[in-house]
Structure 1
Amino acid sequence: MVFNIRDNDNRRVKTDYPRSIEKWKHVWIPMSDGAKLAATIWIPEDAHDNPVPALLEYLPYRKNDFTAIRDSARHPYFAGHGYASIRVDIRGTGDSDGVLLDEYLKQEQDDCLEVLDWIQEQPWSTGSVGMFGKSWGGFNSLQVAARKHPALKTIITLCSTDDRYADDVHYRGGNIMGQDMLWWASTMFAYNARPQDPTVVGDNWKTNWLDRLNTRPFVESWLSHQRRDDYWKHGSVSEEYTDVDIPVFAVSGWQDGYTDAVFRMLENLPNAKGLIGPWAHEFPEVAIPEPAIGFLQECLRWWDQWLKGIDTGIKEEPQLLSWIQDSELPEVTYEQRPGKWVADQTWPSTNVTNQSFWLSDGKLVQHVTDEEKTVISGMQEHGYYAGVFCPFGQPGDLPADQRLENGKSVIFTSDPLGETIELLGKPVFHADLSTDQENAILAVRLCDKAPTGESTLISWGMLNLTHRDSHEFPEPLEPGKRYNVEIGLDVLGQQIPAGHCLEVSVAPTYWPQAWPSPKPVTLSLYSGAETHLDLPVRTPQRKDASWQEHFERPEISEIMEREIIREEERTRDLIHDTINDAWTLYDYSDEGQRRLPENGMEYGSINKNTYTIKGNDPLSAKATCEWDLTVGRGAWQTRLKTYSEMTSDEETFYLTNTMTAFENEEEIFNKTWQKNIPRDHV
């Protein structure tokens, strides 16, 4: 997970602004319980005489080092245009007091409400505040908006979710995310253990560091809640959409893991607009694939409208602007995705209609067929070429040519399309099926097959079939009994050219995206009226042409000076041990090491993840994640090494997490947490 700024000749670096700015470092925001939160504030120099609205980004990722480069790209930009742009470390992270015990706790929200109180009371503040953020900051912007603080007038939420159970890195379709559940937990296990800066907080840093090192791994809580219970309902604004009644700008990209949430927010939030580009999990002014856009200018239009009362035209614009991607041959990394911008006045859109395809005898056809039975045996290694769930734009993140997967599932292929179609929205797969086990997965892939044979993954979905009726109250399957189930695939904005074919893949396995069922599964799929794929086909509009030049050239602030100590490196290697029929994916990411001359901080990280399984043995699934983090300055250097492991048998999950900490290369802490957690319908 790299927080950096990519070089881009198309980007304009701004150094002159309408208002001169100051940067206030190490600002302390007091909490009612005596704790202090650490903040950096960029603000117009004359704000005491001419008060300004405030913008808040509230994150656990360390403002003084780990996100300092990315913060420098946009916070000064907002300040130069007449805002106090505030970056706060969440309690237990960076230089803020305390420890962070889990994601999105009520404490996190309560603290944020006190931050909003504090902003209102400042002499430089007009009392109007907007929140923004990507990922964690996008999540808590939504969650705090639901708390209805009177100062919070609007939010911009990027790459976020409204449903913490159904649409995040822990569970999808009731399945444990085999590649992400442990990885993200291991990430926060390591991140949370980094110390405060002694030059900022004083001698107490060491006591606080030992407290942070003793924080239990989040994965133990996440895996203890395998169904959609109150643990996941907390922080999910989908529980009561009407609580978020302020204007919301929801932003994502087709490569992001959270694009579905934009569509749900447009449908359910009373004052929401959406933007979806071709991007990975990143801000659109710096993201790949290109085209990047002048997103900071769009943010200013949004802030000016809702925080300054300036009519910027935002209110009259369509509810959704999205990038329809041209068909491309499969690549594990795209620098660009050709396509076009389209506008839909409302969502759901009157420009989108449903088109159905039925499955029969290896074909996708546009008419109901006679019933026939297709037997599908699970191959445990199916899914290794799926790419990562939530790409950050690193090399190798994306799915490979799906011909590498197709022999491990059953494929249904359409005839070549007679005319080009454009898809926008959520495909839905309906299946009439039975299984030979009480616990089973259904995984569906949708691909664009070129006339030359290459198969590009354009959408996918999966369902734990014990969750067919409810994520809150799962029920075992009755072997041999037929069920009608529905799977929503990931939303997409995709052109399929004439002459190309559509492919649908069906399988009862998808490792490492989904943790395997406890026993090998044979799935029976019955064709006929109930088994079909619904596709959202968008009719092109003449007005679409007027949106192609809507966005300005990307602008950012001048990036803070940084020195590269160690360059980044990324590899993803899949090894098949043919003698033992064992498959192992090695995912290695050296995110480099940097030094910031502004404060002398040095920081770096290396992450190694391994996902292993043997053919026809779901209980051989094993995930391991390792981190090696460094933070220091001069003669003060700290290092963290972590190891996390997850395995299972038919009844139980087994977790091991080990933390080792060093101060100036001397080991000062070593602890292992082990926990066994019963399987609950997974």
Structure 2
Amino acid sequence: MTIKTEFPCRVIEQDDMGIVLSDGCRLSARVWMPEDAVANPVPAVLEYIPYRKRDGTLPRDEMMHPYVAGHGYACIRVDMRGNGDSEGLMEDEYTQVEMDDAVAVIDWLSRQPWCSGAVGMMGKSWGGFNCLQAAFHQPPALKAVISVCSTTDRFADDIHFKGGCLLGENFGWGAVMLSYSSRPPDPMLRSDWRKMWMERLEAEPWLAPRWAALQECGAYWKHGSVGEDYARMQTPVLIWGGWADNYMNTVAHLVENVPAPCKGIVGPWVHQYPHTAVPGPQVGFLQQALRWWDRWLKGIKNGAEDDPAYCVWMMHSAPPDACAKERPGHWVAEVEWPSPRVSPLVLHLGAGVSNASQGKMDEQVADAFALTIATPQHLGLKAGEFFPMGLNAEMPGDQREDDALSLCFDGDPMEAGLDLLGAAELRLRLSSDKPLGFVVARLCDVAPDGASLRIAHGMLNLCHRDSREHPSPMVPGQVVEVAFSLDQMAYRLAPGHRLRIALSNSYWPFVWPSPGAGRLTVTGGSLTLPVHSGSTAEWLPPPAEHAQPWQHRVVRSGKTRRFIEEDLITGTYALVVQDDLGDAENLSHGLCSGETMSERWEIHPEDPLSAKAEHIWEQRLSRGAWSIRTCAEAEMTATATHLRHRAVLRAWEGDELVFEKMWDDSVPRRFV
């Protein structure tokens, strides 16, 4: 990693540029631009998110935006309405108001005296979502976007549902946003900070039950899903993803379907920008971004449109490691996607020879069999996070313990190894003894020593077997054919290793349990693998570099713990995460910020209704004698008929409790 301090342009900065919208709402922007931009206008690059530019994303902002500005761009980091130092209130994620504001900001930027009229938009996660959504809305001044860790489908490929299954992180994300949005503006920038803070707290939404109630893919989820009409994507897109992140499918979908120039890059990374993300190798994301902006915002003929369509880090077999700092592999560059170098290999599922409860898979059609999936509820404790952020054991660990509890179909050891690129598809013939249930499939690399590394996973809520718009419960005992895709992958299986498909109907806490401990009977199926041929080291990205990190003083160091508890008296298991980020003072403006969170995901192996999630988030801000603190506590439990979401939000000014609000919502279990 190289830290750059010298750039072609001298950069000036403004902490709080006001952008006033048509309804009078003032958004706050932090801006970096070349000092001569008024005399020599430059393109603008917008990042527009709710995560607080004054403290929240400031460390990463200062490594990226001055770098890009130093190469002849105005970089504008805007706090969305109702967040950070911006006025207004936020009601939900990806609302039409949010997008209308974004389109207005893009237009406003294009008309500034220091802007050439061309605007780009970039972002990760929420910012990656809304820059794709902005491209979908086609504002005239928006000439290109760069999106990192985002989705084309808010129902199928976001943090709420996956394959129609309700994700545990739907609740977790609701708790996060309850906490994140509870903080006030900085009093140094807003004399009316306290009034704005109270208005925010009073209007604060508890979103987890709202999302959980929407158990089919309807208008709410289709709004903001650019995959609903790819033909509208007429703006050039550079899309990035990571194999350790659960937004890895987006890249292939966009490269395959967007009619505008679209290039995709997927590395081994977690949910971070690729110049800082783990596992390594990191790459020069900022240099690649400048290449994209130079081509589409400045019109420089640098050949960016002729780059490979899809560059991926093909990971090689390695021991399982939930804290992997590096992943061995090589870069594969596909000129087009889908690639002519990928061909299907169909493996049929069948009963095992030596173990009647397990199975095998090979290219021969299997004899008739009947195998059962009835897995204990605590299976999945080492599945990892939906979007891991770093090296705190957030990636999948060794899968062999979960494999031992699952219905597994094993292939033979591969004498020559095998390369995979794309999404595997699983077909099953099965019946269920319950109307509500799901099946999870994990594709694993099993080493000769028995270690099991998860390559990809996929899942299907069986109510969604025929339609995600119109789900219907299973008819107990009725045999049905189902099919679903596993996540995209790029993987080289080592010689002597074998593939395993592990099936379960529990996956805690990744998926919220079904209301009853069901039993699935599998009587047939196949796995279609995307086999890749002919790849070598085909792409050499630039090395990672960034601008100087933020100047700060550590007031109190943090500490993170992640562990699994087994209660030997009650028989329950719990995944516990304790993450204290400590406190740090910004040496530029003196604001001290800190954050502490804890999560507990508890369940009994025999009782899906014992599932309980408890999250506590604390936010701290101070400067001199001024200090505030907020605490969001959330709990989710369930009965056979309802999902219960409770929360309380409290706020203190100094030592005085100045706000308290409670929620208690019950959501009918129609399909989950």
Shorter-normalised TM-score: what interval? Answer: over 0.9
SS in 2 for 1:662: strand
1:513 is aligned to 510
SS in 1 for 2:405: coil
SS in 2 for 1:255: coil
1:241 is aligned to 230
In structure 1, stretches of 5+ residues that fail to align are 1-10
SS in 2 for 1:600: coil
Name the count of aligned residue pairs.
663
Question: How many angstroms apart in 1 are the aligned matches of 2:609 and 2:537?
Answer: 53
SS in 1 for 2:487: coil
Question: How far is the alpha carbon of 1:372 from its aligned partner?
Answer: 0.7
Task: Say if 1:109 and 1:143, in contact at 8 Å, map to a contact too.
Answer: yes
Q: Does 1:207 align with 2:195?
A: yes
SS in 1 for 2:671: coil
1:197 is aligned to 186
1:55-95 residue CA offsets vs partner (Å, 9 max, x unmatched): 00001011011111110001001111000011000000000
Q: 2:461 aligns with which of 454, 464, 472?
A: 464
Aligned AA (1:91): R
Question: How far is the alpha carbon of 1:546 from its aligned partner?
Answer: 4.3
1:66 is aligned to 56
Question: How many angstroms apart in 2 are the aligned matches of 1:410 and 1:421?
Answer: 23
Aligned AA (1:500): H
Question: How many angstroms apart in 2 are the aligned matches of 1:676 and 1:394?
Answer: 36
Q: 2:254 aligns with which of 251, 265, 268?
A: 265
Q: 2:326 aligns with which of 305, 312, 336?
A: 336
The 5-angstrom pairing of residues 341-352 of structure 1 reads 341-352=331-342
Q: Does 1:55 align with 2:55?
A: no
Task: Say if 2:11 and 2:35, in contact at 8 Å, map to a contact too.
Answer: yes
1:534-591 residue CA offsets vs partner (Å, 9 max, x unmatched): 11111024xx4342xx222211011120111222322111111233221111111112
Q: Does 1:539 align with 2:528?
A: no
In structure 2, stretches of 5+ residues that fail to align are 352-358
The 5-angstrom pairing of residues 433-444 of structure 1 reads 433-444=430-441
Task: Say if 1:572 and 1:586, in contact at 8 Å, map to a contact too.
Answer: yes
Q: Does 1:429 align with 2:456?
A: no
The 5-angstrom pairing of residues 283-322 of structure 1 reads 283-322=273-312
Question: How many angstroms apart in 2 are the aligned matches of 1:675 and 1:90?
Answer: 27
1:627 is aligned to 617
2:243 is aligned to 254
Q: Does 1:375 align with 2:372?
A: yes
Aligned AA (1:207): K
Question: How many angstroms apart in 1 are the aligned matches of 2:538 and 2:403?
Answer: 40
Question: How many angstroms apart in 2 are the aligned matches of 1:376 and 1:20?
Answer: 63
Q: Does 1:578 align with 2:574?
A: no
Task: Say if 1:394 and 1:570, in contact at 8 Å, map to a contact too.
Answer: no
Question: How far is the alpha carbon of 1:208 from its aligned partner?
Answer: 1.4
SS in 2 for 1:280: coil
1:328-384 residue CA offsets vs partner (Å, 9 max, x unmatched): 111111001111001111111111111111111221212111111112223111111
Question: How many angstroms apart in 1 are the aligned matches of 2:537 and 2:277?
Answer: 24
TM-score (norm 2): 0.97
Question: How many angstroms apart in 2 are the aligned matches of 1:398 and 1:559?
Answer: 26
Q: CA RMSD in A?
A: 1.0
Aligned AA (2:414): L
Question: How many angstroms apart in 2 are the aligned matches of 1:485 and 1:336?
Answer: 37
Aligned AA (1:441): F
The 5-angstrom pairing of residues 95-174 of structure 1 reads 95-174=85-164
Question: How many angstroms apart in 1 are the aligned matches of 2:157 and 2:111?
Answer: 37
SS in 2 for 1:560: coil
Task: Say if 2:603 and 2:611, in contact at 8 Å, map to a contact too.
Answer: yes
Q: Does 1:648 align with 2:643?
A: no
TM-score (norm 1): 0.96
Question: How far is the alpha carbon of 1:118 from its aligned partner?
Answer: 1.1
Question: How many angstroms apart in 2 are the aligned matches of 1:146 and 1:137?
Answer: 14
Task: Say if 1:47 and 1:124, in contact at 8 Å, map to a contact too.
Answer: yes
Q: Which runs of 4+ in 1 moved over 3 A?
A: none
Task: Say if 1:216 and 1:673, in contact at 8 Å, map to a contact too.
Answer: no
1:8 is aligned to none
Task: Say if 2:127 and 2:147, in contact at 8 Å, map to a contact too.
Answer: yes
Which deviates further from its counterpart, 82-91 or 263-272? 263-272
Q: Does 1:30 align with 2:20?
A: yes
Task: Say if 2:278 and 2:391, in contact at 8 Å, map to a contact too.
Answer: no
1:610-656 residue CA offsets vs partner (Å, 9 max, x unmatched): 11111221111111111011012111111011110111111111110
Q: 1:219 aligns with which of 208, 211, 217?
A: 208
Aligned AA (1:61): Y
SS in 1 for 2:472: coil
Aligned AA (1:488): S
Task: Say if 1:29 and 1:115, in contact at 8 Å, map to a contact too.
Answer: yes
**Structure 1 residues 443, 667: CA separation in 2 closer, same or farther (over 3 Å shift)?**
same
Aligned AA (1:545): A
Question: How many angstroms apart in 2 are the aligned matches of 1:370 and 1:515?
Answer: 34
Question: How far is the alpha carbon of 1:308 from its aligned partner?
Answer: 0.7
Aligned AA (1:619): L
